[in-house]
């Protein structure tokens, strides 16, 4: 298979990065690579999607990895997984990797082990230059569920119409489900018996980097990975809810410039010139001429360590950093003085944040269950809302009109192949009811 053929298969199946912002996966297959790194870190507490996939589908994932390896001429595949999760891997399948290019690579049980810069370092020893992407050091980083979606596309030309999601937090039992794309989150939670949300809020994603769910309007998308329910008064919810303006005002009153936020920043520790205490200082004191203090935030991954672990004043430097990063992207402002760190900082090993410490600091120990159950409920929503923008790049445009009959798996919207985007498919058999700015709405 050629790279172009693989790209077409991945595009037609509508595959985007299932573990993050939804980068269209076919664009990752743009060049040959030396190493493929599979991100099996799942470092946000309470999340179990990738681990369930590795537990139940390791052989299929390996099959897709072999095709990717051949097509991209990669020397090896490194599955980066924490030691505490190794027991989930089928021993017979792991034995079959002996002498092949697929290797299991143990990574430390720290946060944010799944950040692609950190994961690349922990699995390959390479440090991605500031402002660069893994391909620039010959590496492609890909998420477990994304590889599984590629397997389904290669094997059966199956498009992405469903999503693995962990539902957990302040609930009696944490579960992983497979939900149809476009199902309302409210309906999904009702279907599993967790629909009573009085006094509670739902986070889409992990407790560190997740966003609040708009329960009336949000739907399952290609990047929905976790739905975590917490009391609205809980610190996790309060941190997410705090407006950036409030964070800035509090910083101007309470920041003592102690530098702890920088000292513990995982990217600073990898040698990056990202000193977030300088951003806090410049932003909260109106030092608008200190351009480097703003431009450096392009290097931030939004992990939140500076807010949750480092700052003893209860400030949220990551909010400022990510707000500024967003603005830099929006206005196309680039940092020109990026460098290639020669080595990680000497103090790095002693400053890594263990998962246990993170769980305690977040105040979520009581929500950590002994196990997370995978349930095989088949959800049958009457209506699905296929979101036109669930990925990085240009939104998709509807290819159907109200009244059209569609089957599960039919294309209902797409972004042109030449543009950055993907293809959307119906997840049910039904009739197109309406097309809005945000959705293709399909009813049974
Ligand atoms: S850790 Fe907190 S108090 Fe210290 S410099 Fe950073 S924002 Fe300011
Ligand atoms: S969120 Fe904070 S700790 Fe994480 S990379 Fe950004 S500045 Fe560093």
Residue 272 binned pLDDT confidence (cut-offs 50, 70, 90): very high
**Domain identity same for 83 and 152:** yes
Local confidence band at 121 (pLDDT 50, 70, 90 cut-offs): very high
| CATH code of the domain containing 428 | 2.40.50.100
User: Which runs of consecutive H residues, i.e. helices, occur in 167-220?
Assistant: 185-191
Mean pLDDT, residues 134-158: 96
Name the residue at shortest CA distance from atom 1 of ligand 1.
311
419 and 295, same structural domain?
Answer: no
Closest ligand to 298 CA? Answer: 2
Q: How confident is the model at residue 370 (pLDDT cuts 50, 70, 90)?
A: confident
CA of 172 to the centre of ligand 2 (A): 33
pLDDT above 70 coverage of the chain, percent: 100
User: What pLDDT, on a 0 to 100 scale, did the predictor assign at position 409?
Assistant: 97
Helices (H) and strands (E) in the chain, counts: 16, 19
- Same domain, yes or no: 405 and 355: no
Share of the chain above pLDDT 90, in %: 89
Least confident of 156-170, 193-207, 246-260, 353-367: 246-260
User: What pLDDT was estimated at residue 407?
Assistant: 97
Cα of 442 to ligand 2 centre, how many Å?
A: 40
Does the CB atom of residue 319 touch ligand 2 within 6 A? no
Where b means 16+ CB within 10 Å and e means fewer, 368-394 reads ebeebebeeeebebebbbbbbbbbbbe
What's the rounded Cα separation, in Å, for the pair 197 and 203? 12
Q: Whose CA is nearest to atom 5 of ligand 1?
A: 257
103 burial type by CB count under 10 A (0-12 exposed, 13-18 middle, 19+ buried): middle
Report the distance separating Cα 296 and Cα 415, nearest Å. 32
Secondary structure letter of residue 52 according to DSSP? H
Q: What is the mean pLDDT of residues 345-370?
A: 96
- Picking from 383, 70, 391, 352, the residue whose alpha carbon sits closest to that of residue 222 is 391
Tens digits of per-residue pLDDT, 69-109?
A: 999 999 999 999 999 999 999 999 999 999 999 999 999 99
**Ligand 1 centroid, distance to 410 Cα (angstroms):** 51
- Establish whether residue 321 lines the binding site of ligand 2, counting it when its CB lies within 6 angstroms of any ligand atom: yes
What pLDDT shows up at residue 296?
Answer: 96
On whether both 28 and 152 belong to a single domain, the answer is: yes
252: Cβ contacts below 8 Å, ≥ 6 apart: 284, 285
Collapsed DSSP state (helix, strand, coil) of residue 184: strand
**Where do the DSSP E strands lie in 144-193?**
162-169, 175-180
pLDDT confidence of residue 326: 93
Asked whether residue 20 carries a pLDDT value surpassing 80, the answer given is: no
Domain boundary among 328, 362, 396: 362
| Ligand 1, pocket-test mutation among 315, 316, 318, 321, most atoms within 8 A of CB | 315
Structure tokens at 141: 């980083």
Together in a domain, 25 and 93: yes
What residue owns the CA closest to ligand 1's atom 4? 258
Q: What is the pLDDT of residues 392-443, one digit of tens each?
A: 999 999 999 999 999 999 999 999 999 999 999 999 999 999 999 999 999 9
Do 332 and 396 belong to one domain? Answer: no
Tell me, what's the pLDDT at 29?
A: 85
From the alpha carbon of 268, which atom of ligand 2 is closest?
A: 8
Per-residue pLDDT tens over the stretch 161-213 = 999 999 999 999 999 999 999 999 999 999 999 999 999 999 999 999 999 99
Name the nearest CA neighbour of 262 among 244, 280, 276. 276
- Where is the domain boundary, 156, 178, 207? 156
The verdict on 89 and 133 lying in the same domain is yes
CATH number, domain of 132, equals 3.40.50.11540
Q: Does residue 100 share a domain with residue 132?
A: yes
Give the residue numbers spanning the domain of 355: 242-362
Q: 35 and 76 in contact (C-beta within 8 Å)?
A: yes
Going by pLDDT thresholds of 50, 70 and 90, the confidence category of residue 67 is very high
Provide the pLDDT for residue 19.
Answer: 76
- Return the ligand 1 atom nearest residue 280 CA: 7
- Same domain flag for 333 and 393: no
**Residues counted in the chain:** 444
Q: Mean per-residue pLDDT for 6-21?
A: 92
The confidence score (pLDDT) of residue 149 equals: 97
Could you say which ligand is closest to the alpha carbon of residue 257?
1
Give residue-wise pLDDT tens across range 278-317: 999 998 888 888 889 999 999 999 999 999 999 999 999 9
d(CA 434, CA 403): 8
Atom of ligand 2 nearest to the CA of 267: 5
For range 110-131, the mean pLDDT: 97
**205 CA to middle of ligand 1, Å?**
26
Q: Is 310 in the pocket of ligand 1 (CB under 6 A)?
A: yes
Domain containing 167 — which CATH number?
3.10.20
- Residue of 131, 274, 280, 298 to mutate, ligand 2, most atoms within 8 A of C-beta: 274
The predicted model scores a pTM of: 0.95
Query: Mind spelling out the 3-state secondary structure of 283-337?
Result: HHCCCCCCHHHHHHHHHCCCCCHHHHHHCCCCCCHHHHHHHHHHHHHHCCCCCCC
Quote the pLDDT of residue 61. Answer: 97
Q: How confident is the model at residue 375 (pLDDT cuts 50, 70, 90)?
A: confident
Pair 197, 275 in one domain: no
406 lines ligand 2 (CB under 6 A): no
What confidence score (pLDDT) does residue 259 get? 97
Instruction: State residue 137's pLDDT score.
Output: 95
User: Pick from 126, 156, 186: which residue ends a domain?
Assistant: 156
Q: Model confidence at 260, in pLDDT bands (50, 70, 90)?
A: very high
Query: Cα of 25 to ligand 1 centre, how many Å?
Result: 37
Domain total in the chain? 4
Q: Are residues 344 and 377 in the same domain?
A: no
Q: Tell me, yes or no, whether 23 and 101 share the same domain.
A: yes
Cβ atoms of 421 and 415 closer than 8 Å? yes
Mutational pocket test of ligand 2: of 302, 316, 324, the residue with most ligand atoms within 8 Å of the beta carbon: 302
Average pLDDT across the chain, whole number: 95
Mean pLDDT of 21-40: 91
Ligand 2 within 6 A of 112 CB? no
In this prediction, residue 210 carries a pLDDT of 96
């Amino acid at each position: 298979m050629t790279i172009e053929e693989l790209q077409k298969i991945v595009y037609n199946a509508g595959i985007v990065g299932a573990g993050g912002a939804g980068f269209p996966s076919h664009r990752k297959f743009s060049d040959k690579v030396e190493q493929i790194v599979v991100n099996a870190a799942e470092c946000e507490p309470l999340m179990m999607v990738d681990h369930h996939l590795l537990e139940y589908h390791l052989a299929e994932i390996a099959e897709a990895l072999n095709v990717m390896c051949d097509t991209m001429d990669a020397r090896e595949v490194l599955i980066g997984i924490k030691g505490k999760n190794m027991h989930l891997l089928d021993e017979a399948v792991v034995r079959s990797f002996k002498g092949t290019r697929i290797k299991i690579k143990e990574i430390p049980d720290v946060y944010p082990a799944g950040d692609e810069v950190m994961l690349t370092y922990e699995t390959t020893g390479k440090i991605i230059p500031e402002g660069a992407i893994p391909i620039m050091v010959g590496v492609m980083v890909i998420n477990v569920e994304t590889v599984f979606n590629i397997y389904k596309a290669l094997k059966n030309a199956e498009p992405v119409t469903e999503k693995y999601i962990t539902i957990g937090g302040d609930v009696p039992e944490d579960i992983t489900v497979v939900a149809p794309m476009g199902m309302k989150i409210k309906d999904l939670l009702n279907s599993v018996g967790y629909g009573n949300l009085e006094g509670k809020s739902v986070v889409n994603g992990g407790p560190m980097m997740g966003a609040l769910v708009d329960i009336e309007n949000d739907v399952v998308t290609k990047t929905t990975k976790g739905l975590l329910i917490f009391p609205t008064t809980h610190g996790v919810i309060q941190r997410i809810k705090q407006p950036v303006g409030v964070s800035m005002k509090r910083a101007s009153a309470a920041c003592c410039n102690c530098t702890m936020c920088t000292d513990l920043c995982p990217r600073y520790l990898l040698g990056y010139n990202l000193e977030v205490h300088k951003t806090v200082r410049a932003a909260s004191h109106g030092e608008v001429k200190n351009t480097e203090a703003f431009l450096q935030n392009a290097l931030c991954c939004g992990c939140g360590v500076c807010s949750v672990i480092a700052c003893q004043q209860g400030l949220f430097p990551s909010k400022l950093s990510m707000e500024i990063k967003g603005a830099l992207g929006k206005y196309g402002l680039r940092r020109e003085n990026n460098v290639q760190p020669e080595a990680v900082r000497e103090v790095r090993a002693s400053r890594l944040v263990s998962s246990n410490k993170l769980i305690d600091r977040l105040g979520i120990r009581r929500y950590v269950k002994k196990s997370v159950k995978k349930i095989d409920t088949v959800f049958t929503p009457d209506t699905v809302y296929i979101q036109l923008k669930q990925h990085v790049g240009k939104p998709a445009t509807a290819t159907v009109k109200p009244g059209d009959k569609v089957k599960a798996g039919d294309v209902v919207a797409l972004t042109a192949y030449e543009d950055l985007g993907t293809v959307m498919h119906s997840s049910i058999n039904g009739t197109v009811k309406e097309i809005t700015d945000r959705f293709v709405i399909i009813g049974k």
